[in-house]
Structure 1
């Protein structure tokens, strides 16, 4: 059993903008976000383009959701499909953050994603009322000023606030959980992937251990979880009890940190040389993301998805190396090994690369067989500084100027999509 009296008793809001991209576009089109049938597609000229967002009614009545394809949208006159306006979405998100700032100082706000934020209101309750009242004021302000729907979960820590949002507040608008609600409301959750922080792969592993509900996870032997998952096993166990000691803004599940990049290609790729060129560009981006956080990793994963013309399918393989790295060419060599071992010649439509098993990039183990390791490592940081100053397209590899390259086009995008 957990002694909740010793744990933080904060008042934290987790505010989510419902179907944010779709809702923003609906308002721009003069439509009601909650009652219209609207989808945001990456590119209206490509039938295979991914749906980035769908309005609530389109999701509910037609089953179209984020990740669906443009060709899946029925030919119905009520449905409107628009391209994204990322720069506008970001401006609106910034203005919504200013609404939060009316009630709490900036240091009490943590922007978790473009459409979701955590707000600590402990010091504001004597000014504005209890946490529920503050949540309602914020929700009303956003609806009145932007015509956008939102929801808020309230909890004593970030984890419970987020779980409350996902599992109850998104249906009700506003909801509040305390530690007393953990066993009654969280433990009954199944499948496990319904709980924030548990992905499909972890769920599959837990199912293989006989764990199918959050309650079963909470009552499972902690030592066995730690033996199987390491530090993440400890976190999974305590999160099932609603325990989260993270400060506002810290990653809630630190053991799950990784750096990745996935890309749905603009066309089918079948030439091995072209596929390898895209992999190199993506390794560059993954390495850059790790360097930005001064991290390095030992486990490199490569995922290849085949085109519908080849009846989909694909593979996902990983390899763990001895020395942690954030050097582009070292990631690329590992990805090439995996690619050559498992690629069967089919048409490729999407690629994903992940760097995991993360450590701080503070030490470098010297090797007699690679005396230039420190220079390679530092070169990556130099390239990053140039791109940060002059833009992502200021310095590109030669492969980006071939017909296979995608980096030049992506450098023009905001958040991976059209700005306007």
Structure 2
């Protein structure tokens, strides 16, 4: 008899803040927040920061003085560090579980089907991640993904669980469903929760017991699936990996507004390089690109401008050089001198997997050795650090780069920023 499927959700606690603490022990037990691009707003908070009432998404300039009085430490977003630590966490999970599905940078589904002691394995995962990486996690286990997600929430909320909660037992499922607010159910947002409250649905248990037909008519099939999952019927399967993206975008706000074309060309080269890397990771080819430019549109009293141009490549490709050459031509078409531009973007569209399209006999032939060259470039950048090999026009420290005044070192991805110990 085939054993029932058992899902585990392993979720890192305050991931960005925990990454900062791993390499900076002095931050432990201190309130920490991480800021968005250009140090704009708060995108991550430690437990201590949450306890002080610091809101998610708060504009940093508005709360900066109060945070300093409260002793809160702010850090600029350090994405290379976070991505590397995430990869380390996922590798450990993959070694300890029969299969994993990476859900986000800080969480993954684990397959615990047939495991004799799921709780014990959950504690082993927590202990190893804490010992080898320094990352605290919560583990929720159940017979459906929605119940496992709810178990993970409870594992983090109540210390008595030890960070691991096995919710495969129907009696324990009912107990938690009666305690959990409906807003904590995976797939139920705050707006849906407010609408559900008008039907006297306040807890996860209320939702699980409500008439499915009425919910489907009011909220659609997604809510119906959620209810069935809460009742123990698995409707969301387990995948070894996410499906390929249908489009890939790379875009960031400039640290300083730009009025001249050369620095914007440099920024576009960086964004194209990053987008092309993502394209090759999922083994896709791009047929169409869209280049965008804009000023700060929220500023009503200054000159405003926004435009995009869509261009077709001669043939599907993942070669950074081919994509960049076309993107730069597109940029020249939409550039307007004198405007204080705050952002440019590249969107790769009409993606296809290698080998699934018949080559066009009349299309230009790809550059000799293109696929091998891109593979070598990616291998070097992965081994050394991102940008070790880059397009010649890109400077190591460009003037247009994001403003990150509180950036910590990239301790795990750059040799010149590794932690040093003096004798």
State the TM-score bracket (shorter-chain normalisation).
0.5 to 0.7
Which residue does 2:352 correspond to in 1? 359
More deviation, 135-144/357-366? 135-144
For the residue of structure 2 that corresponds to 1:398, the secondary structure is: coil
1:13-412 aligned within 5 A: 13-26=8-21, 28-30=24-26, 33=29, 36-40=30-34, 48=39, 53-59=44-50, 61-65=52-56, 69=60, 72-73=63-64, 74=66, 75-82=68-75, 105=96, 107-109=98-100, 112=103, 115-125=106-116, 129=117, 131-132=118-119, 134-136=121-123, 138-139=125-126, 149-156=136-143, 159-160=145-146, 163-164=149-150, 169-172=155-158, 174-175=164-165, 195=187, 219=216, 242=229, 243-247=235-239, 249-251=240-242, 254=243, 258-298=247-287, 300=289, 302=291, 304=293, 306-307=295-296, 310=299, 319=310, 324-328=316-320, 329-330=322-323, 333=326, 337=330, 340=333, 346-363=339-356, 365-367=358-360, 370-372=363-365, 374-375=366-367, 379=370, 381-389=372-380, 391=384, 392-401=386-395
- Aligned equivalents of 1:30, 1:335: Cα separation in 2: 45
What's the CA shift for 1:300? 4.0
Deviations 1:365-393 (A, max 9, x none): 55566423x328x5254133134237554
Deviations 1:83-112 (A, max 9, x none): 6788887787677668758xx745445555
TM-score, with length taken from structure 2: 0.61
What's the CA shift for 1:15? 1.1
- Aligned equivalents of 2:290, 2:213: Cα separation in 1: 30
Deviations 1:40-62 (A, max 9, x none): 4589xx7x466563213324534
> Contact 1:298–1:324 (CA<8 Å) still a contact in 2?
yes
TM-score, with length taken from structure 1: 0.62
For the residue of structure 2 that corresponds to 1:153, the secondary structure is: strand
Which residue does 1:11 correspond to in 2? 6
Structure 2 residues without counterparts, runs of 5 or longer: 193-206, 230-234
- Aligned equivalents of 2:277, 2:125: Cα separation in 1: 37
For the residue of structure 2 that corresponds to 1:267, the secondary structure is: strand
What's the CA shift for 1:355? 2.7
Q: Which has the larger radius of gyration?
A: 2
Structure 1 residues without counterparts, runs of 5 or longer: 1-5, 204-212, 226-233
Structure 2 vs 1, CA of residues 354 and 163 (structure 1 numbering), >3 Å: closer, same or farther?
A: farther
Structure 2 vs 1, CA of residues 49 and 393 (structure 1 numbering), >3 Å: closer, same or farther?
A: same
> Contact 1:8–1:245 (CA<8 Å) still a contact in 2?
no
Deviations 1:12-42 (A, max 9, x none): 2111121123135447444554xx3212458
Structure 2 vs 1, CA of residues 96 and 387 (structure 1 numbering), >3 Å: closer, same or farther?
A: closer
Structure 2 vs 1, CA of residues 255 and 143 (structure 1 numbering), >3 Å: closer, same or farther?
A: closer
Structure 2 vs 1, CA of residues 108 and 383 (structure 1 numbering), >3 Å: closer, same or farther?
A: closer
What's the CA shift for 1:296? 2.0
Aligned residues: 369
Structure 2 vs 1, CA of residues 380 and 275 (structure 1 numbering), >3 Å: closer, same or farther?
A: farther
> Contact 1:11–1:156 (CA<8 Å) still a contact in 2?
yes
More deviation, 384-393/330-339? 330-339
What's the CA shift for 1:11? 1.7
- Aligned equivalents of 2:285, 2:401: Cα separation in 1: 25
- Aligned equivalents of 1:80, 1:10: Cα separation in 2: 43
> Contact 1:17–1:150 (CA<8 Å) still a contact in 2?
yes
